[in-house]
Structure 1
């Protein structure tokens, strides 16, 4: 017991680091073998299938906007080990895990073990690091490579000026440059920092090291300039250490921000992962260290808050498996398992979806992508008429298509919310159980006066059967409107408003618009309108027009409670037609659609 107690006391920091690494491994490898590709990863996978290295560079790297490093690595990796999702993700997840250990070693040089342990606990459990760790893109690899760069740089600057450490700095600075433009930027910032810290007699070898990094990067310069041309690129010394760490954290953000404003928008959350560890060193770094009585409760508190937020508040393990292409393939498989034919209509790149379909042994024949097709509603109506399958799986479509789909497939069987999309399974035949697509807010057929509707009664026309319609002539630009507060209309901030208008005319109406306007405190108007010719379809002199408004993309949540909505028809070219009815519906929000940016409710 005494020997065991002495061992634990002597190696307490190392044992705590092992525990941190184990927790990090569990969080990163949970259900790892079932983890699907994200859109970004499928984009990279889609640019790997070339017969030559030159084709890879010209067609797989140059158009992308990222340096060649990760793409070249993946090109050879899948040739050796295959392209299953877990195989492609494995090296990145391992780099994410071992980044924590490298960070700890850096903290030992700059501060002490306790700083390293607290920072490592954050890196182990914050969603920022857990999310990007298994993603096979240049973010977590850039973190790993840039940390190794800083580790060797720190040994050379702060510990002893050994040339082997300087060579380590050169190697990993060059690899960081090949990895991502922001890790290249960070490598440049670190390198320039050293110019202010080295002794005069070390200038020559340090400048030669910088020159060597540049020489190693020369083969990549044609790619860099090509991407740039297309807008693609995206104690004593305590105060000094803090100042350097502050610069390392803030400069990449500031440069990325102003580059995004002045040249091309490149700044994303993922770009900040390269400099974020130095914020942790800045916040928790101190020469004296923490007492053990403070350290262990601190680590427990960090893990409790970070992991509970990760799992409960951010729903990470629900969100990360709800990738659009994966959801589409699994939903299609579920329908076909019931021996009911189904057609997949989706908004995505076909080669990406085909990867997921192949994964579940599904055919891609009964599928159609609307990605960048910009089908008019009338064109989509013709497509839907041609579908012979009993069911239609619609995933990630433009919002106004769904009301049209309901005309052909009236019954909604399931709705599944996913990250960035919703998946709807529709049926021609009435099932035993149905799901409500949207709920009626208000309906106007002009038979009687209604609250919230402003209707010119002298424009109501009754046909021979006595049915009331609202009349627009070639002399009239305006007619009726509906208005209410969003709080009265919708259950939740972020719900979608679906508007359906049915008209009758002797010829197709081209330029009239159905308009929705959101006002906040009567001051700020958010205007959305669709022309009848683009969002309508018709048969036998009748047309239906659809407008959908996602309030979450147009409003900040604090404005929701005092915002109003107004809907009307703008007959801007004064065409003649009759409005038979107009209906407004509420469609429930997808709580995880914008989960990367918004809280999940």
Structure 2
């Protein structure tokens, strides 16, 4: 019969091996993510001071530790996916070990086995242990801080000052890794004041002084980063159901996992109910899990959105700890059955149900760069116009430079307010027989492929990934888009499809033909089309509107689509148009694409109109509203690695 310590070591080693293999499997074969590349393009500085000032202070929203670590690691081991991500794999595996020791100290061996096994296998901690971003280090340092805090406060006073130094250093590492880890470390520190004894006050304060002293040189960097305003420009405020959705996400978004953990947890309460008393550590688990969420939620709603699932990973282990905290040690058969059941269910869910090792979770770049290089080589760079869209040109340049490829492409940032107008002009002036459009992890308006398809209707190659895509378009007289709806007017005759003030038909200015529509300040709704949703949308999800405008003054008009029941709730979408008018006194084209709302019904009324809220005067001509069978886009559709 095995001794208890031998059995404990075998199970612990098994959990650590599972954690390591879950994280290292296939970790170096998939593309760097946008956030990883965003860090790598901020490494090439001539001095350490430039790295701090330009690579971290001015262009980052995180403390310096991870960027400095990558800077040093890259010098020694290079910048491949496998080399850069490996230390983050180790940190993620180390987090599982730390949670085991914390759980064992707080609640006993069974809770330690179950909570660390969950952290080892659940896809949330596994995924964020594979990224070369602050999350894996932040989780490790957070749990290291808790372990040092626990040893300082709840073990004998032997070597108390040494323990205080360790705790202070661990706290400082949290502070230097991620601001949510910083906040979590502050919660830990404040909690400690409830458990101080007369003889531990001074060393506890010493640990705080050490943490502050280590962080002190970073304060100016942090203050500058806070002044930049954070990520609220693209991150939405959290909804009231955020916490529930986050818990489900942490449990693999899997009913099987949720039910299994709920059953195991409830059975532990029933079986061990005579020995259960709500302890201080259970209260700590609840508080530590909820407080970062509550603070992040309040800040995101009232000040600036910052709350994402990823930033709550540092406190996530304490949800697991609480769920398994009611287990005791003496029902060995029940406990062993719980280990086996939980392990099998979690492995099945992560590997098979969620298809973790094949599913894409982030926009890709390597695959897009590879396709661009192959197309330019096959068809000749002079025959292809290439447009790539993400947040920074340097990010798309990364893989080209890694492969020593001289690839010419035009870069656009999808969040630029002039992007659609600039692309409209770019495509209209393009003379090459082929056109490549690629984008990743950034806003890609549906107008862009619709604009390209007007001139390049042939899709020669299309490779769609999660939140990213690369498409090769071509010209061919045999290519025709299948039309679902088409309505056009040049105001040469009245049209039964459009309603407008016919007294405005004019011959003073025209884009084509002999007439245009003279819009006056009194014309609030210049031209309107009314149809039902089923007439405009079938297999497509989008409809596009184009027109030509001539104006000599300010232009504030908007294209609008509203949809719903005439007397009921309506969905309203508007596209701003001023960026299309770059030169007064010329005919210039406007363009917009609208997406069918997911809650629309086939018989809903759809109204598309040109709205003139600025009471402008201008001429309007050649209005076209069209939808096609291939006007369907879903950038977040599940995608799997090739």
Q: Distance in 2 between matches of 1:181 and 1:149?
A: 15
Contact 1:486 1:565 in 2 (8 A): no
8 A contact 1:519–1:525 mirrored in 2? yes
Whether the 8 Å CA contact 2:92–2:136 is kept in 1: the answer is yes
Question: Following TM superposition, by how much is the alpha carbon of 1:108 offset from its aligned partner in structure 2, in angstroms?
Answer: 0.5
Question: Is the counterpart of residue 522 in structure 1 residue 564 in structure 2?
Answer: no
Alpha carbons 1:496, 1:550 under 8 Å: kept: yes
* Alignment partner, residue 254 of structure 1: 294
Query: 1:366 is matched with which residue: 393, 405, 409?
Result: 409
Alpha-carbon deviation of 1:185?
1.1
Q: d(CA) in 1 for partners of 2:536 and 2:179?
A: 48
Which one of the candidate residues 426, 434, 454 is aligned to 2:473?
A: 426
Specify the alignment match of 1:241 in structure 2: 281
Specify the alignment match of 1:394 in structure 2.
437
Partner of 2:30: 35
Are the structure 2 counterparts of residues 516 and 301 from structure 1 closer, same or farther at C-alpha, using a change threshold of 3 Å? farther
- Tell me the secondary structure at the aligned position of residue 196 of structure 1: helix
Give distance in 1, aligned partners of 2:541 and 2:228.
Answer: 36
For the structure 1 residues 177 and 378, does the alpha-carbon distance in structure 2 shift closer, same or farther, using more than 3 Å as the test? Answer: closer
Structure 1 104/488 Cα, relative in aligned 2: closer, same or farther at 3 Å?
farther
Q: Could you tell me how far apart the structure 2 residues matched to 1:158 and 1:487 are?
A: 71
Q: CA deviation at 1:44?
A: 1.1
Query: Aligned ranges for residues 475-554 of structure 1 at < 5 Å?
Result: 476=523, 477-485=525-533, 489-491=537-539, 496-502=541-547, 510=555, 512-519=557-564, 522-531=568-577, 534-535=579-580, 545-551=590-596
* Corresponding residue of 1:209: 207
Asked whether 1:588 is paired with 2:588, we answer no
- Aligned-pair CA distance for 1:176: 0.9
CA distance in 2 between counterparts of 1:562 and 1:19 reads 59
Sort the Cα spacing of 1:575 and 1:8 in 2 relative to 1 into closer, same or farther, 3 A.
Answer: farther
- Give the structure 1 partner of residue 618 of structure 2: 575
Structure 1: give runs of 5+ residues left out of the alignment. Answer: 1-5, 596-601
C-alpha contact (below 8 Å) 1:155/1:161 kept by paired residues: no
CA separation of 1:421 and 1:210: change in aligned 2, threshold 3 A: same
1:150-184 deviation per Cα after TM superposition (whole angstroms, max 9, x unaligned): 11211222333342433322221111111111111
1:157 and 2:184 matched: no
Cα–Cα, structure 1 residues 490 and 295, in superposed 2: closer, same or farther, change >3 Å?
farther
SS of 2:470 mapped into structure 1? strand
Q: Structure 2 CA distance, aligned partners of 1:407 and 1:488?
A: 18
Instruction: Tell me, yes or no, if structure 1 residue 126 matches structure 2 residue 122.
Output: yes
Rounded Cα–Cα distance in structure 1 between residues aligned with 2:588 and 2:231 = 46
Q: 1:127 to 1:488 in 2, by over 3 A?
A: farther
Report the secondary structure of 1:73's partner residue.
helix
- Name the CA distance, whole Å, in 2 between partners of 1:280 and 1:37: 30
Worse-matched range after superposition: 519-528 or 74-83: 519-528
Q: What corresponds to 2:270 in structure 1?
A: none
Matched-pair contact (CA < 8 Å) for 2:360–2:465: no
Q: 1:225 aligns to what SS in structure 2?
A: helix
CA contact (8 A) 2:560 2:572 kept: no
In the alignment, does 2:401 pair up with 1:355? no
- Asked whether the 8 Å contact 1:516–1:567 carries over to 2, the reply is yes
Which ranges in structure 2 are unaligned for 5 or more consecutive residues? Answer: 233-274, 508-512
Shift of 1:134: 1.4
Matched residues in 1 for 2:325 and 2:433: separation? 63
Shift of 1:387: 4.7
Q: Report the CA distance shift for 1:578/1:61 in structure 2 as closer, same or farther (over 3 A).
A: closer
For normalisation by structure 1, the TM-score amounts to 0.83
- 1 CA distance for matches of 2:553 and 2:454? 19
Matches for 1:54-453 after TM superposition, within 5 Å: 54-63=49-58, 64-162=60-158, 163=160, 164-232=162-230, 238-286=278-326, 288-289=328-329, 291-311=331-351, 314-320=354-360, 323-336=363-376, 338-341=378-381, 342-348=384-390, 349-370=392-413, 373-375=416-418, 379-384=422-427, 387=430, 389-396=432-439, 397-429=444-476, 440-445=483-488
Q: CA shift at 1:309, angstroms? A: 4.3
| In structure 1, distance between residues paired with 2:549 and 2:176 | 61
- The 8 Å contact of residues 536 and 627 in structure 2, kept in 1 or not, is answered as no
1:249-306 deviations in Å (ceiling 9; x for gaps): 1111112222233433222211100001011111111252484433444445444544
Paired residues, number? 572
Take 2:21 and 2:477, find their aligned partners in 1: how far apart are those partners?
45
Contact 1:92-1:141 at 8 Å conserved across structures:
yes
Give the Cα–Cα distance (whole angstroms) in 2 for the partners of residues 377 and 212 of structure 1: 53
1:496 touches 1:548 (CA, 8 Å); kept in 2? no
**8 Å contact kept, 1:498–1:546:** no
DSSP 3-state at the match of 2:544? strand
Once the two structures are overlaid, the 10-residue window that deviates more, 288-297 or 122-131, is 288-297
Contact 1:417-1:423 within 8 A present in 2 as well? yes
Give the secondary-structure state (helix, strand or coil) at the position aligned to 1:34: coil
- Counterpart CA distance in 1 for 2:592 and 2:462 is 20
Secondary structure of 1:31's partner?
coil
Q: Secondary structure at the match of 1:444?
A: strand
Q: What is the SS of the residue equivalent to 2:95?
A: helix
Distance change >3 Å, CA 469–CA 209, structure 1 → 2: same
Q: Is the 8 A contact 2:299 2:306 kept in 1?
A: yes
Change over 3 Å in CA distance of 1:317–1:526 after alignment to 2: farther
Q: Is the 8 A contact 1:139 1:271 kept in 2?
A: yes
How far apart, in 2, do the equivalents of 1:487 and 1:291 lie? 66
Question: Are 1:319 and 1:418, in contact at CA under 8 Å, matched by a contact in 2?
Answer: no
Structure 1 residues 290 and 443: alpha-carbon distance in aligned structure 2, compared to 1, 3 A threshold: farther
